[in-house]
Amino acid sequence: MKRILIIEDESALQKTLGEILTQEGYETISALDGGSGLDLAKAKSPDLILLDLILPKMNGFDVLTNLKKDNTTKGIPVIVLTNLEGVAEIDRVISLGATAYLVKAQYSLEELVARVKQVLDSPM
């Protein structure tokens, strides 16, 4: 079973994402802030990370930078899931090595699940 780490400070959103991804047959683990998300990524080696950008303790940009610096986590695909939609943020996140950038307001849950499947099914 593939494991997905959700780093999201909105607990309601975390619950909804966890529910639908579990129903789709994935194991989900979650963190409510950037620091514990990074620790969890290192400890549990997930197959995919869903990462919010505005997070307490450590923001999503720093989490991504640290993930890509560490040999144990740098190969994990990261989908950034945020409500920020500035060109500067998108460019920064992609240059830091994120696999995809999704604006929450523009995606339905089903579209998000489809994107998750696509990333997990694509060869590394």
Partner 1 sequence: MGTSIGTFLIGNRYVDDPIMVVFIVLLSAAILFIMAFFITNGFEKLAEANRMKTEFVGIVSHQLRAPLSNLKWSIELLMSGRLGKIEEKQKEYFQILEENSSRMHELISDLLVVSRMETTGFFSHKASFSLIKLVKETIKEFDIFTKSSNIKIDFDYPSKKIDTLADSPHIKLVVENLIDNAIRYAKKGGNIQIKAQARKDKIYLEIKDDGVGIPKNDQRYIFQKFFRAQNALKHQTQGSGLGLYIAKTMIEKSNGKIGFNSKENEGSTFWFTLPLAHKS
Nearer to partner 1, 110 or 121 (CB): 110
Extract the tokens encoding 9. Answer: 């400070």
Residue 84 C-beta: closest distance to partner 1, Å: 8
Extract the tokens encoding 30. Answer: 């979650």
Which residue stretch of 16-24, 28-36, 94-102, 114-122 sits at the interface with partner 1 (rule: CB under 8 A)? 16-24
Nearer to partner 1, 20 or 119 (CB): 20
Interface residues for partner 1 in 56-115 (CB under 8 A)? 83-84, 87, 104-105, 108-110
CB 102 within 8 A of CB 79: yes
Q: How far apart are the first and last CA of the chain?
A: 17
User: What count of other Cβ atoms lies within 10 Å of the Cβ of residue 82?
Assistant: 20
How many residues form the binding site for partner 1 (CB under 8 A)?
A: 16
How far apart (Å, rounded) are the C-alpha atoms in residues 73 and 88? 25
Residues that bind partner 1 (CB under 8 A): 10, 12-13, 16-17, 19-20, 23, 83-84, 87, 104-105, 108-110
